[in-house]
Amino acid sequence: MRAGTKLPRWAEYGLLPLVNLVAALLLSGLIIRLIGESPWAALKLMVAGAFGAQDAIGYTMFYATDFVFTGLAVAVAYHAGLFNIGGEGQAYIGGLGVGLVGLACGGGPAWLVVPAGIAAGALFGAAWAFLPGWLQAKRGSHIVITTIMANFIASALMTYLLVNVLIKPGQQSPESREFGPGAVMPSVHDALAKLGLSFADSPFNLSSLLALAACLFVWLLVWRTRWGYALRVAGQSAPAAIYAGISPPRIVIGAMLLSGALAGCLGVNELMGSDHRILLDFPGGAGIVGIAVALMGRNHPVGILAAAILFGALYQGGSQLSFDMPHVNRDMVILIQGLVILFCGALENIFRRPLAAVLGGRRAPA
Amino acid sequence: MDFYRDLILLLAATVRVATPLVLAAIAGLYSERAGVIDLALEGKMLAAAFAAAAVSAVTGSAWLGLGAGIAAASALALLLAFACVTHRGNQVVAAMAINIVVAGLGPALALAWFDLGGQTPQLDGPHQRFLGLAWPGAVAALRHPLLGLPYAQLVSGHNLIVYGAAALVPASAWVLYRTRFGLRLRAVGENPLAVDTAGISVTLLRYQASLISGVLCGVAGTYLSTAASAGFVRDMTAGKGYLALAALIFGKWRPYPTLAACLLFAFADAGAARLQGVALPVIGVVPVQFIIALPYILTVLLLAGFVGESVAPKAVGVPYSKEK
């Protein structure tokens, strides 16, 4: 997708995403104005709602942790030339793995149960991504379509399991019983309290460290290993990869397994970190946000980290906004998210060409 | 007799559920046959559902609602074509963007305009909805249930959009296979270079196909909010756009098989509600969720080549560039 016009690195990774974001925010501001509220006041409320207090920051970082996992999942697949829309389903099934460990071994020691939960989440997520990957690699089935279908199948499967199998007996709402105390990821509040520091209570938990480690791991893997090189070559050009002795089908399957595993880790943050039980539809669209995060972060872990915090702030700030502005609610955040995808992904050339002209960028050979 | 009656009612429900699917799947047929992936069926339908319900609520006319629905969906279709054809952006990304924008924008505008928590007002005025039309003699026919029941429930009693959707399929088959426009449309989805070499504009054809898709999605969305229900609610398409896409793939990008797939999926959907907790002979109780997931499972199996083979138009998803 980067063919066409080349920009200097700082503009490619810094300026262009910023211009895209500003365009999306301006358009959203226009719509808020249309609704009859002040866009400037809305922006101030959102920033205050996302960063104005310790617990607000905690919520922002909690959401951001989700988006790092799903953003990385999209990015890894993207580098292999695949568009994985199935993050939502992979996160959902990954959460099933986390939840099963939490339900079965919740009585065990946390130092054993939490890592087991992480492993199960990654394993279940990877397993759910395996089939679309395998079908793409071996049968040529379009991965976009199969991952969308897999999302719906995951949703139906989880509804079935929660309504019929995992539901806490004697209860109406479809959710599992609470995990045992061993299956709880310590919150930042508790962890800092042990060190004698105080931080407001919020769902912000140590899964964030796992997310940071995932960023580092993806960066090392994709840019500093042989396999990562093969991944990027196969993503750029399958014939070139074959010529270089790389097997594109194996890369496709490997990339999807890793992508699914990353998405599956969302369950660690949501279930072991916050809910402590399996809930219906707990990913809540985070898999889709991952697409926006990856596009905005230019599929690089550092960019994804920044974009995830931005979207975390939008989510947290957006829910605060709805308290103060009766005519604006969280739907506005979904709108901004869609506009970011539109400007960063689909219409990126609109700003790329003028920027290149201004900056004197060179035309890439056609 | 009760069984017969249940069956006819189930088939009538199937027709009602299938209507938006048929409209959306045929919409996708046009754009995908022209080489533009149409993942935005969902968003275009949802936008039309909102626009139709909002305009119908304000003006009291379902027909003006239909116009607004078509306008909204067409505008999005043109935006999609602008991003994917003119700017050669990624078609999948553009479509996802549109779906998400609409999912946010619809309820946001509904909240601002009507103050009902993201819904439009209930449409209960005399002309605010497309209601079922009773054909002559439908009531009298019920005196002879064997033939009268199918006549009263299946042939008669639907709204105009249902009959329109039924007529759309043969019309589209004719356009696609019997007209010059259809030939060019199919060619541009298989080999745009050949079409371009023949002096026909690839861009224009793809814009036309997108626009047709927009109009049909507009009708489908209008059906959801002003015929099948009485107003717009958040996420009211609930994946129907993707289900229509699955039907299109299941129908191998051909009009009649696509219709058959829509009817099959709609039958499963209409049946799922009735099968809840009912034990069937031999298989026992089938979980409702399994029936809901069945269309998606079937589509994956088909795409995998385990049940026949479904081959997409060759150039689908590939932006056309003269320079290459």
Query: Which pLDDT score, from 0 to 100, does residue A222 have?
Result: 95
Would you call A141 and B104 a contact, using CB atoms and an 8 Å cutoff? no
How close does chain A come to B143, measured CA to CA in Å?
A: 42
Query: Which pLDDT score, from 0 to 100, does residue A361 have?
Result: 52
* Residue A293 falls inside a structural domain: yes
The answer, for B242 touching chain A at a CB cutoff of 8 Å, is yes
pLDDT surpassing 60 at residue A356: yes
How close does chain A come to B132, measured CA to CA in Å?
A: 32
Query: Which pLDDT score, from 0 to 100, does residue B310 have?
Result: 66
Total count of domains within chain A = 1
How many interchain CB pairs under 8 A, A with B? Answer: 154
- B245 vs A contacts (CB less than 8 Å): 145, 148
Q: Which CATH architecture has domain B2-303?
A: Orthogonal Bundle (1.10)
Tell me the backbone φ, ψ of residue A187, rounded to 5 degrees.
-80, 160
- B323 vs A contacts (CB less than 8 Å): 366
Q: Which of A193-197, A280-284, B279-283 has the highest mean pLDDT?
A: A280-284
* Residue A56 falls inside a structural domain: no
* Residue A318 falls inside a structural domain: no
Using pLDDT thresholds of 50, 70 and 90, give the confidence band for residue A70: very high
Structural contact between residues A332 and A318, judged by C-beta atoms closer than 8 angstroms: yes
How close does chain B come to A276, measured CA to CA in Å?
A: 25
* Residue A266 falls inside a structural domain: yes
* Mean of all residue pLDDT scores within chain B: 87
Q: Give percent of chain B above pLDDT 90.
A: 44
Rounded CA gap, A31 and A5, in Å? 31
| Interface predicted TM-score (ipTM) of this complex, two decimals | 0.86
Tell me the backbone φ, ψ of residue B15, rounded to 5 degrees.
-60, -40
How close does chain A come to B108, measured CA to CA in Å?
A: 6
Show which of residues 1-30 on chain A sit within 8 Å of chain B, judged by CB atoms.
Answer: 1
Residue range B14-66, pLDDT digits in tens: 999 999 999 999 999 999 999 998 899 999 999 999 999 999 999 988 999 99
Of B100, B112, B323, the CB nearest to A327: B112
pLDDT surpassing 60 at residue A366: no
Task: Write down the pTM of the prediction.
Answer: 0.89
Would you call B324 and A346 a contact, using CB atoms and an 8 Å cutoff? no
Using pLDDT thresholds of 50, 70 and 90, give the confidence band for residue B270: confident
Of B87, B96, B107, the CB nearest to A291: B96
Q: Which of A232-241, A314-323, B306-315 has the highest mean pLDDT?
A: A232-241
The answer, for B318 touching chain A at a CB cutoff of 8 Å, is no
Query: Which pLDDT score, from 0 to 100, does residue B137 have?
Result: 74
Return the minimum-mean-pLDDT range out of A173-182, B179-188, B223-232, B313-322. B313-322
Residue range A27-55, pLDDT digits in tens: 988 988 888 888 898 889 989 999 999 99
Residue range B100-130, pLDDT digits in tens: 999 999 988 888 888 887 788 888 877 888 8
Mutation pick from A32, A82, A148, A350 vs chain B, by most beta carbons of B within 10 Å, is A148
- Convert B89-120 into a string of H (helix), E (strand) and C (coil): CCHHHHHHHHHHHHHHHHHHHHHHHHCCCCCC
* Residue A216 falls inside a structural domain: yes
Range of the domain at A288: 69-303
Residue range A129-183, pLDDT digits in tens: 999 999 999 888 888 889 999 999 999 999 999 998 888 888 888 889 999 888 8
pLDDT surpassing 70 at residue A276: yes
Structural contact between residues A305 and A297, judged by C-beta atoms closer than 8 angstroms: yes
Rounded CA gap, B212 and A301, in Å? 41
pLDDT surpassing 80 at residue B309: no
Residue range A211-226, pLDDT digits in tens: 999 999 999 999 999 9
Of A326, A333, A346, the CB nearest to B94: A346
What contacts B124, CB < 8 A, 6 or more positions away?
B230
Would you call B299 and A149 a contact, using CB atoms and an 8 Å cutoff? yes
pLDDT surpassing 50 at residue B67: yes
Q: What is the mean pLDDT of residues A216-243?
A: 94
The answer, for A83 touching chain B at a CB cutoff of 8 Å, is yes
Output the six-digit token pair for A100.
């099963």
Structural contact between residues A189 and A201, judged by C-beta atoms closer than 8 angstroms: yes
